[in-house]
Amino acid sequence: MTNSSIDGSAVSEPIYVSSPLLPSIDAYKDHLSEIWATKQLTNGGKKSICLEDELSRYLGAQNVAVLSNGTIALMVACHALKLTGEVITTPFTFIATIHALAWCGLKPVFVDIDPVTMTISPQQIEAAITPATSAILGVHVYGNRCAVDEIGEIATRHKLKVIYDAAHAFGTRHRGRSIADYGDMSTYSFHATKLFHSGEGGAVATRHKELDAEARSLRNFGIASEERIPGTGINAKLSELQAAMGLAVLPLVDEEKAQRRRVCQRYNEAFKAVPGITTPPLGDLRDDSFQYYCLRVKAVADTPARDDLYQRLKAKNVFSRRYFWPLCSDTEEYKDLESADPARLPNAQTAANEVLCLPLYGALTDEDVSRIITGLHEACGIAS
C-alpha cells in the first residue's frame, strides 16, 4: 500500500515485525457483555476460568494457570519451585527471561547455545553446575525446542529443577506431546506481539498438580482463605477483560498459523539462494508455533552485513528486528558476571550478530510480502 508525501511522491506504508491478531469487535463485545452482566472484572471470574480450560485443551497441557504477563509467569515459576542460588540459562533470549531471575534474587549463569537451534546447549550445562545451582532455565527461542530429553536427563542426575520459557512456543509439540509436558514448569507470554495473545497476559503450565496449586496461590498474594495467608504471593492475576480478549483470539489461531506458514514458505523460496543468507526450516502446522521468521545473515558477495541489511530495509519502511541482539550477557546489568565473558559464549555471539527477524503475521498481504522480498533482494544486489 502507498500514501502520498508532502511533495506528492509515493511513500509506502510501514510494515512492522508483528501485528496483533485481532478478533472482530463484535466477537470481543459478546464476551464483554457477559462481564458487564456479572460485574466480575478480575480475581478469578468466569472468563479466566474458561480461558484456562480452553488453553489446557489447545496446548495439551494438564494444568494451566493464567497470569498477568510472561515475565511475572517466570517469577511465579521460580517461587513455586522455591529456587535458590544459581540458575543456568541462555544469554540468547529477551531480557525479561534474565530480569525475572534477578527479581527473584537468583544469579543467572550463562552458558552457550546450540549453533543451529540457538537454544541452550546441553553440553555446556553440566560444566556450569556448582553446589549453588538449583535449576536450569531453557528458552524455546523462536519456538525452536530446547534439547528437552538431554536437559531432563542432566536435571534428574543432578537433582535440579527445570523451567522452560515457552513465550515463543505457543502450541509447540515435541514427539507428539505438548512442549509443556517437559520440565517442571513452562511459562507463556500472551503479549500483543505473540501468536496467541490477550493484549497483555501469560501463564504457567505444569504436569504437577501441587505446583499448579502453588502458582494459583502465589498469583493472588498467597491468600489461601479469609483466615490464612501462608505464602509470600504477589498480584499476578489476569483481568477478565484480558481473558475475554484471549477467548476471542484463540479460535483464530489455527488460521493465523496457516497464513503465517504461507508467508514463511514464500520467504524461504525467495531467500534460499541468496549468498550469505540462511533460511529457517519450514515449520509444521501441527507442531510449530510460527512465532518469528528468523534469517541468519553473513556478509558474503553483495549481501551486506546484518546491521546494514536491517538499515536498508528500514529505509524502505520495512521494520525487521534483531531479536536477540544485544545478548543479555552483554547488557550493563549482567556483563560483569563471570559467565558473561564473550569468549565463553561464541555461538551466542555469532547468532546475536547474524539474526534478523522479518515481519510475520497473517494479515500481511501478498503485496506486502512481495515488497519485503524485493526490498531484501535489492539490498543484496539481486534483481527480483
How far apart are CB 271 and ligand T4K at their closest, in Å?
Answer: 21
Of 165 and 212, nearer to ligand T4K (C-beta) is 165
Number of residues in contact with ligand T4K under rule CB under 6 A: 23
Cβ–Cβ < 8 Å for 172, 166: yes
The 147-176 site mask, x for binding ligand T4K (CB under 6 A), equals ------------------x-xx--------
- Per CB under 6 A, does 94 bind ligand T4K? yes
What stretch of H or E contains 291?
none
- Per CB under 6 A, does 20 bind ligand T4K? yes
**Residue 319 φ then ψ, to 5°:** -100, 90
Other beta carbons within 10 Å of 76: 29
- Per CB under 6 A, does 317 bind ligand T4K? no
Q: Give the binding range for ligand T4K (CB under 6 A) out of 56-64, 77-85, 93-101, 308-316.
A: 93-101
| Cα–Cα distance measured from residue 23 to residue 4, given in angstroms and rounded to the nearest whole number | 30
What stretch of H or E contains 22?
none
How far apart are CB 76 and ligand T4K at their closest, in Å?
Answer: 12
- Per CB under 6 A, does 69 bind ligand T4K? yes
| Residue from 55, 64, 96, 352 in contact with ligand T4K (CB under 6 A) | 96
- Per CB under 6 A, does 18 bind ligand T4K? yes
Q: Give the binding range for ligand T4K (CB under 6 A) out of 16-24, 148-156, 225-233, 265-273.
A: 16-24
| Cα–Cα distance measured from residue 19 to residue 299, given in angstroms and rounded to the nearest whole number | 29
How far apart are CB 200 and ligand T4K at their closest, in Å?
Answer: 6
| Cα–Cα distance measured from residue 57 to residue 51, given in angstroms and rounded to the nearest whole number | 10
Residue type, 370: S
Q: Which residues of 82-92 are buried (b: 16+ CB within 10 A; e: fewer)?
A: ebeebbbbbbb
Cβ–Cβ < 8 Å for 351, 115: yes
- Per CB under 6 A, does 326 bind ligand T4K? no
| Residue closest to ligand T4K, measured at CB | 70
Length of the chain: 384
How far apart are CB 197 and ligand T4K at their closest, in Å?
Answer: 9
Q: Look at the block and give the residue holding cell 540457538.
A: 118
List of residues 6+ apart from 366 with CB closer than 8 A: none
How far apart are CB 166 and ligand T4K at their closest, in Å?
Answer: 8
Dihedral-angle region of residue 296 (phi above 0 means left; psi in -120 to 50 means alpha; beta otherwise): beta
- Per CB under 6 A, does 134 bind ligand T4K? no
Cβ–Cβ < 8 Å for 52, 200: no
Q: Vertex 279, ends 262 and 71: CA angle to 5°?
A: 80
- Per CB under 6 A, does 191 bind ligand T4K? yes
- Per CB under 6 A, does 323 bind ligand T4K? yes
User: Burial, 319: exposed, middle or buried (Cβ in 10 Å; 0-12, 13-18, 19+)?
Assistant: middle
Of 50 and 95, nearer to ligand T4K (C-beta) is 95
Of 167 and 277, nearer to ligand T4K (C-beta) is 167
List of residues 6+ apart from 278 with CB closer than 8 A: 295, 296, 298
Of 40 and 117, nearer to ligand T4K (C-beta) is 117
Other beta carbons within 10 Å of 151: 23
- Per CB under 6 A, does 71 bind ligand T4K? yes
- Per CB under 6 A, does 19 bind ligand T4K? yes
How far apart are CB 4 and ligand T4K at their closest, in Å?
Answer: 23
- Per CB under 6 A, does 44 bind ligand T4K? no
- Per CB under 6 A, does 237 bind ligand T4K? no
Q: Look at the block and give the residue holding cell 470481543.
A: 28
Residues in touch with ligand T4K (CB under 6 A): 16-20, 69-71, 93-94, 96-97, 139, 165, 167-168, 189, 191-193, 202, 319, 323
